[in-house]
Amino acid sequence: EDKVVQSPLSLVVHEGDTVTLNCSYEVTNFRSLLWYKQEKKAPTFLFMLTSSGIEKKSGRLSSILDKKELFSILNITATQTGDSAVYLCAVARGGTSYGKLTFGQGTILTVHP
Amino acid sequence: NAGVTQTPKFQVLKTGQSMTLQCAQDMNHEYMSWYRQDPGMGLRLIHYSVGAGITDQGEVPNGYNVSRSTTEDFPLRLLSAAPSQTSVYFCASSYGGATNEKLFFGSGTQLSVL
């Protein structure tokens, strides 16, 4: 059974702080790991990682995957109140399991002014 | 550009009632799926479809039916609602090929079963 575990489950910081969110996984025939941001309702896509050790960046957000140790981290630097959201990690299998992701529980990030 | 459209946004049912959650996408995506989100449990896959006429079960399929008669639509049917089905339901779709894991989500349906 595929398993995705995120930590911490919740985090409260102040604007300007840097945060690191963790995601560990156990999955058969790993294909990719994805990060989503969920504000209010629909999750929105942040990153997809398939190769170990290659950092993906988008502005103040960055993520890296370690396929040997089976984990990924999502870093957010200089946090803003608009970063407050639930951050979801998901893994996808290879083969024909398109759109069939296994999600972690999510990390609730709260950024205070 | 509507993306993925779910209706209704909110629904209250009594135990034993049936209903259909609607999902439509206008991006010509091959793959569509339904997830439910419960507190502390992330999103769990209910059913998915890799194309018109093809559906398969996900992690938590019991009590739900789906069909995919067109590329655009993927309705989710609750046959006899139970309180355990109280949840937020998300429909999602994706392209095929190398980016098929990049799901586009609808805005969700909050369902309460009394």
Tens digit of pLDDT for each residue in A13-33?
Answer: 999 999 999 999 998 888 889
Per-residue pLDDT tens for B48-104?
998 899 999 998 999 999 999 999 999 999 999 999 999 999 999 988 665 567 889
Model confidence over A67-85: pLDDT tens digits? 899 999 999 999 999 999 9
B92·A98 Cβ contact <8 A: no
Q: Among A9, A31, A99, whose Cβ lies nearest the Cβ of B103?
A: A99
The mean pLDDT of chain A is: 92
Report pLDDT digits (tens) over B24-45.
999 999 889 999 999 878 899 9
Confidence band of A94 (pLDDT split at 50, 70, 90):
confident
Quick check: B31 contacting A, CB < 8 Å? yes
pLDDT band at B1 (very low <50, low <70, confident <90, very high): low
Instruction: Measure the CA–CA gap between B24 and B91, rounded to whole angstroms.
Output: 9
Is the pLDDT score of B14 beyond 80? yes
Q: Smallest Cβ distance to B90: which of A42, A92, A100?
A: A42
- Contacts of B105-108 with CB under 8 Å at 24 or more apart are B105/A42, B105/A43, B105/A44, B105/B4, B106/A42, B106/B3, B106/B4, B106/B5, B106/B6, B106/B23, B107/A41, B107/A42, B107/B6, B107/B9, B108/A41, B108/A42, B108/B6, B108/B9, B108/B37
Distance CA B49, CA B71 (A): 10
> Hey, are the CB atoms on B90 and A32 less than 8 Å from each other?
no
Q: What percent of chain B has pLDDT over 90?
A: 81
pLDDT at position B95 is 83
Q: Which of A94, A87, A59 is nearest to A73 (CA)?
A: A87
Q: In A, which residues are within 8 Å of B108 by CB distance?
A: 41-42
